[in-house]
Amino acid sequence: MKIKYLTAFVASAVLSVGVASLPTIFSPAQANPCAAEVENPCAAVDPCAANPCAAVDPCAANPCAADPCAADPCAANPCAGADVVTAAEPPHPEVYIESSSDLAIRGADPVAYFTMGEAVAGLPQYEYEWNGATWRFSSAANKEAFKAEPEAFAPAYGGYCAKAMSEGNVASVDPRAWKIVDGKLYLNYSQDVQDQWVQDIPGNIEKADAMWPSVLTEKTFYENQVSWAE
């Protein structure tokens, strides 16, 4: 794929860290080459050489950086903070349902994009079942508006990433990466991915329309973890 959800998928690897053996006689400063007194305890050594701070060489494979030695090789987990991406084989439901919440578009209120111009988290007391998914709304009025005309407010491609769809792929979305085009709501995997999508909106929509919905029965679905409403 061309977009970052596959890079994030690779970045879910975790490196284990231990302590290398030391001489019998040493000073307190030498006792622990990873001691907190030094801002970067590995600064004096080549970070791509044998690493005294770990049982394995953390520079051997670091999927979290373009330069595998860019991160502190003494860090416990050089992949901390990286996307954790899960994959699911087809077929997939017509509406993107977040695996952790069982909610359409991660619980975002689809009507609020049109009425408030922003991503708004729906509330448990305002839920509605439509097209095989549970949708949440931030108010009773928004729920009723959706019930009256769900196709007018539901996002394109069932709420799956519009950029991924244009490439014949299936991916989750960040509700904050959105845009309304010609009265239709489009969502994307992340803001970075949306920045790519907006470079050719008409062309990407045309490509995605040609892919939808056949890709749901053909392609692997990728979903990352997003705490968007915090």
Is 50 exceeded by the pLDDT of residue 19? no
Asked if residue 66 lies in contact with residue 75, where contact means CB atoms within 8 angstroms, the answer is no
> Which of 164 and 9 is assigned the larger pLDDT?
164
In a domain, 229, yes or no: no
In a domain, 79, yes or no: yes
Structural domain for 44, as ranges? 1-86
Q: What phi and psi, each to the nearest 5 degrees, are found at residue 203?
A: -65, -40
pTM of the model: 0.67
Read off the pLDDT band of 82 (50, 70, 90): low
Report CA torsion sign: 163, 165, 170, 176.
positive
Residues 103 and 62 in one domain: no
In a domain, 230, yes or no: no
Asked if residue 73 lies in contact with residue 59, where contact means CB atoms within 8 angstroms, the answer is yes
> Per residue in 95-150, pLDDT tens?
999 999 999 999 999 999 999 999 999 999 999 999 999 999 999 999 999 999 99
Helix, strand or coil, per DSSP, at residue 50: coil
- What number is the average pLDDT over the span 214-229? 95
